[in-house]
Chains A and B, each alone.
Chain A
Amino acid sequence: MKVVVDEEKCVAAGQCVNAAMDVFDQRDEDGIVVLLDENPPAELAEDVRNAAAICPALAIRIEE
């Protein structure tokens, strides 16, 4: 699984951090998404898919 984030689209809602905090964080100065692990392990795959599904700005893409 490969995760791609689009900083331009991100609106800093923080939903991805709720869903998968080992994979996503927020930049302190403006809350924009920070990708901690672009190839997350299989056990986090479901959380990461959920993060992409609940990102309100559709800023997370997953390449399987």
Chain B
Amino acid sequence: MAEAETRLAPDEQAYFYQDDRDAKCPFAPPPGLRALNEKAPVTRVRIWDGSTPWLVTGHAAQRAILSDPRVSSDDKRPGFPYPNHVMAESAPHHPLTIFNADGADHTRIRRMMTRPFTRPRMEALRPSIQEFTDELIDRMLAGPKPADLVTAVSLPLPSLMICVLLGVPYADHDFFQEHAQWATRSDKTVEQQNAANAALGGYLANLLQKKMEEPAEDVLSDFAARIKDGDLTLPEAVMLSMILLIAGHETSSSMITLGTALLLDNPGQLANLREIDDTKAVANAVEEILRYLTVPQLGQRRIAAEDFEFEGAEIKAGDGIIAALPAGNWDPEAFPEPEKLDLTRKASHHVAFGWGIHQCLGQQLARIELQVVYGTLYRRVPTLRLAVDRDELDFRPADALAFGISELPVTW
């Protein structure tokens, strides 16, 4: 691309999208993002590789751009705004997946994956999610104080649930949790990522082969049946299984950890949540916490498939586009006083699960896990509190794929 096309206009500040969070407000999106949105809902920014994609920060603009058919998710198109060099280097080798397919290809792949994640099926899982949550809390209360909430509750709950759905033996969780974490880290090398993919891929290929011989009621058995019918190849099925396994881990886990830290920081709101005895109101609170924290913080990456004008921006075919979801969820036009955590706010139009045809496949599972945990943990452990100062918590930097805290020492 010619330099003239990528140069920022003189009145535009070069903003590094990796700009970090404000240490005083660790739960808030990086202040630079909010400042950009005050200027305009769509701006040009400079990212890690020196390229200058469009950054969409406005809530309405994000919903419009993410459902615009002139915008593509194809990460092999030149100019695609990769989040980091590892993704840039690996993209040419990516098979077609639910993430990078457009239109009819996307519909075909997505429909193979949606069955186990419908709202009615997730609702039917609620009692098992409740039972397992109670068991984890019992175990935490019986163990030493302080405890790390991540290892006690946040990680085991979503990990077990995704294993049950996929038909992956939970006994192997040490193995796949270790490899799954590389997908969401920014401090990794291509070699580390490839090694993790190869290990997980080999493991899942073995399991899929077993399911072809002995199918059960689970997603991997569904995929195995499709391999037999010729609808899927083994490498495609491995990739889809890996996506589900990894996506089922970090995101819900981060929401449980961060959500707890956020609520402990807002004792008034936490007290209200503890009093709520109505699943609808708890569900509403979950939507507000999802809005507030927006775990997928790197933004949805897209590329323009043709020239078009959008919110005053002249977007050209091949221009990168990033929808910065945390900024959309803190856009005062959509959520007045966005910095105020208000569990009674109507926030279901948030974009924490993305927007458009690529919106999160596992969102109903995540919601019910969060509703059960937020509705149980603080009531069962009313004296729950941080065992360290908030300043000592290790918040992940803003260039990690998923926002999170690696450890949450709590006591009661």
Known: A14-B364, A53-B349. A28 touches B359 (CB 8 A): no
Interface size class of B (residues with CB under 8 A): 20 to 34
**Which residues of chain A are within 8 angstroms of B360 by Cβ–Cβ distance?**
13
Complex-state Cα separation, A3 to B149, whole angstroms: 45
- Determine which residue in A12, A14, A17 has the highest number of CB atoms from chain B within 10 A of its CB, and name it: A14
* A25 nearest in chain B by CB position: B120
Are A57 and B356 within 8 A (Cβ)? yes
Are B115 and A58 within 8 A (Cβ)? no
Confirm or deny: A26 has a beta carbon within 8 angstroms of a beta carbon on chain B.
yes
B59 to chain A, nearest CB (A): 12
* B112 nearest in chain A by CB position: A30
* A27 nearest in chain B by CB position: B118
Interface size class of A (residues with CB under 8 A): 20 to 34
Are B357 and A11 within 8 A (Cβ)? yes
Residue from B66, B118, B348 within 8 A of A14 (CB atoms): B118
Are B348 and A56 within 8 A (Cβ)? no
Are A56 and B119 within 8 A (Cβ)? no
A-B contact count (CB 8 A): 69
Confirm or deny: B355 has a beta carbon within 8 angstroms of a beta carbon on chain A.
yes
Main secondary structure on B side of the interface with A: helix
Contact with B along A25-47 (1 / 0, CB 8 A): 11011111000000000000000
Are A13 and B67 within 8 A (Cβ)? no
B407 to chain A, nearest CB (A): 32
Contact with A along B111-134 (1 / 0, CB 8 A): 100110111111000000000000
Known: A11-B359, A12-B110, A57-B357. A31 touches B118 (CB 8 A): yes
- Ranked nearest first, the 6 interchain pairs of A and B with the lowest CB-CB distance are A14-B119, A56-B359, A31-B114, A12-B114, A17-B119, A31-B118
B interface, CB within 8 angstroms of A: 66-67, 107, 110-111, 114-115, 117-122, 283, 348-349, 353-357, 359-361, 363-364, 367
User: 19 other contacts beyond A8-B107, A13-B360, A30-B111, with CB at 8 A cut-off?
Assistant: A11-B107, A12-B114, A12-B118, A12-B361, A14-B118, A14-B364, A15-B348, A18-B283, A18-B367, A26-B118, A28-B118, A28-B120, A29-B115, A31-B114, A31-B115, A53-B349, A54-B348, A56-B355, A58-B67
Give me 8 A-to-B residue pairs in the complex whose CB atoms sit less than 8 angstroms apart, sorted by A's number: A11-B107, A11-B357, A14-B119, A14-B122, A15-B359, A28-B121, A32-B111, A54-B348
A interface, CB within 8 angstroms of B: 8, 11-15, 17-19, 25-26, 28-32, 50, 53-54, 56-58
